[in-house]
Structure 1
Amino acid sequence: MVPLTLAEHGALAKARLPAVIWDFFEGGAGSEWTRRANLTAWRRHVLRPRVLVDVSAPDCGTELLGARLAAPYGVAPMAYHRLAHPDGECATARAAAGAGALLVASIFASRTLEEIAAAAPGAPRWLQLYWLRERDALTALVRRAEQAGYGALVLTVDAPKVGRRLRDLRNAFALPADLTAVNLAPELTGAARESAAGRSGIEEHSRQQFDPRLRWADLAWLRARTALPLVLKGILTAEDARLAVEHGADAIVVSNHGGRQLDGTPPALAVLPEVVDAVGGRLPVLVDGGLRHGADLAKALALGARAALVGRPVLWGLAHGGADGARAVLDLLREELLDTMVLTGRPALADLDRTALAPWPPS
């Protein structure tokens, strides 16, 4: 079967992956209310098509922090791609490069930063970081990212620890013995491979290594160690958006971590307009969480996002088809976006503003 929707990619991946790995990828925190809300939030907006518009040459290309993209999207940072496919992040990097998409590699990648860069030379890529207790390890990662041609750092700010993910606890999830976060020293990663009934190695690892003392003032320490742009991921309020601007962020990602941190937070899409208004055009705003169709990408742009990040669907494609499967997911999203732009009479990204949407059901 040739998958024609992201849901079909997901079905193929679920049939191939062991249940505990599927749960690790798909699961959210708590009752998973926020994970589900991320998916349904996109249906609360409908498109307002305009007619008798020249749509013969739609263009969804854009630029983001100096990187040229074929569409306003990228691969969200996700750990341990080798759980989905033996080639791991190298396959994902080739897929993103082929699709003209941004790749955001995770600090917990299962391939080295250098291997990922070599898999797609010249392609746009950023590195995601958690704030570790061991600051020397952070400094070393930043240096390696600079040398390997990563274009920005993405600091995840909503994770003083990993959220309580019940699927992982029930499965006593831990990494296989042959897989680790290869970009960190072994002594910083061992706990992720250790678990017991009712516990998660991933959660225990975060308790040991993530620094919960991180404050806004600490961003200056990171700023002093690199000239790379700094993107803050995990912003959900206007208050924090304004603080991000004040503290010199170069971009922000409106995100609830795919519903994997604090259950009960709003869908990222629901707070996107609030954050965009607070920023007032002073820096680019990205969004992630539950995007499952190119029309969703159009809705994100209409609400003020410069681009969106796509997570789980890329892993679905990777799991069942390697680099080709992940590329197919990204290509499908771009094709659906172009279809949406043509059929709404908005052939340029600049045409996708708030007049392109209406609430549903109508008030």
Structure 2
Amino acid sequence: MTPLPKLAQIPAAIAALADYEAFARERMTPSAWAYLSGGAADELTLADNLAAFQRVRLLGRVLEDLNGGHTRLQLCGLDLDYPILLAPVAFQQLAHPAGELSSVLGASAMGAAMVVSTQASVSLEAIAEAAQTPLWFQLYIQADRDFTRDLVRRAEAAGYRALVVTVDAPVNGMRNREQRAGFALPEGVEAVNLRGMRSLPPSVAQPGASPLFGSQLLAHAPTWKDLEWLQSLTCLPVLVKGVMNPLDATRAVERGVAGIVVSNHGGRTLDGMPATLDVLPAVVRAVDGKVPVLLDGGIRRGTDVLKALALGADAVMIGRPYVHGLATAGASGVAHVLHLLRTELEVAMALGGCATLADIDASLIWR
């Protein structure tokens, strides 16, 4: 197991990822907490992402040879020590004054790849300069397509290794918890990477606003043609994030994407969708090994990572848990979250009789 970095700021009571939540909530404003923790509408999908992992049970194996065990993998041109990445999370200065700069330091300490949000509160160049670990750039195709092209060029110039295009949010979900809390970005926190973009329709419909259909908002929403246009702009691998339907996965693979991220946006877009873990096997079958499949949503334990890998994922991404660590203890908290999750994964693999990721398959799942 990887030795733990010096983490003097970590409260002694924290033994697992879930323990961070209470500490993080104490350190954030109620409005910021509503933004980070909330989901869409009645938050059914948000809750089911967590519950899905609790529904799945593991079958261990005994007396297997575990000599030479490791968690290394290759993913879209990266050599990674373990299959856990930091997912894109917007406006991380809501959780900690240094925001994404602390997250990337924590990721670098643990050798984890990080996916940087278009809506980061720190510039993509500053994050890249601080990084000692591979970075991918999460991209929303903006209504201002010229500005989108410029974002791609900036990511390439800064050394990002792939683009992760979020495709499941042509509009924001109806985030009632945010509305009730009166969430608004505080002074000094903004999507700095979008400075200078032409003023275009907002990305969210509000109660009482004019009808959505027929509006300029949907007129600018990206389509499959825009994905192809984006691929034509860059030599970087392009992954699509937000795929839940096997038909969409097939269509994306046919268009030459480099990877699929099974995601329901952390339950923040269309409420009532199934959990990502529940749809993962069908998406994996549709992809048929042609490109890597990643999953996010609901991971809180190393056993959750093992379950996702056993059901066909090549790697996973975590979002809220590392921001809880960030809010609690900055870079040390992010590193500790990754350390805990990796340690739990290695223990689960050993108890499941798996020396390497290649040994993990559906036989570990009790049915």
Letter in 1 for 2:92: H
- Matching residue of 1:39: 50
Q: 1:314 to 1:189 in 2, by over 3 A?
A: farther
- Matching residue of 2:185: 175
In the TM superposition, structure 1's runs of 4+ consecutive aligned residues that sit over 4 Å from their partners are 186-192, 207-212
Aligned residues of 1:131 and 1:210 also touching (Cα < 8 A): no
Deviations 1:178-225 (A, max 9, x none): 111111125568999xxx9x799xxx9xx9878653221222211111
- Matching residue of 2:244: 236
What is the aligned counterpart of 2:39 among 10, 28, 33? 28
What is the aligned counterpart of 2:344 among 336, 339, 350? 336
Q: 1:164 to 1:278 in 2, by over 3 A?
A: same
Q: 2:201 and 2:324 mapped to 1: Cα distance?
A: 26
Q: TM-score, normalised by structure 1?
A: 0.92
What is the aligned counterpart of 1:163 among 157, 173, 183? 173
Q: 2:103 and 2:259 mapped to 1: Cα distance?
A: 23
Q: 1:188 to 1:308 in 2, by over 3 A?
A: farther
Letter in 2 for 1:111: V
Give me the identity figure in percent: 46
The yes-or-no answer on 1:51 pairing with 2:62 is: yes
- Matching residue of 2:4: none
SS of the residue aligned with 2:142? coil
Q: 1:66 and 1:247 mapped to 2: Cα distance?
A: 19
What is the aligned counterpart of 2:288 among 267, 270, 280? 280
Residue segments in structure 1 that go unaligned for 5+ positions in a row: none
- Matching residue of 1:355: 363
Q: 2:327 and 2:229 mapped to 1: Cα distance?
A: 38
SS of the residue aligned with 2:298? coil
Q: 1:339 to 1:208 in 2, by over 3 A?
A: farther
What is the aligned counterpart of 1:118 among 117, 124, 129? 129
Q: Once the 2 structures are TM-superposed, how far is the Cα of residue 58 of structure 1 from its aligned partner? A: 2.4
Aligned length: 351
Q: Once the 2 structures are TM-superposed, how far is the Cα of residue 4 of structure 1 from its aligned partner? A: 0.6
Letter in 2 for 1:94: L
Q: Once the 2 structures are TM-superposed, how far is the Cα of residue 95 of structure 1 from its aligned partner? A: 0.9
- Matching residue of 1:97: 108
What is the aligned counterpart of 1:215 among 223, 246, 249? 223
Calculate the aligned-residue CA RMSD, in Å.
Answer: 2.3
- Matching residue of 1:325: 333
Q: 2:208 and 2:56 mapped to 1: Cα distance?
A: 39
Residue segments in structure 2 that go unaligned for 5+ positions in a row: 1-10
Greater alpha carbon shift after TM alignment, 10-19 vs 276-285: 10-19
Letter in 1 for 2:189: L
Letter in 2 for 1:236: M
- Matching residue of 2:318: 310
Q: 2:166 and 2:282 mapped to 1: Cα distance?
A: 20
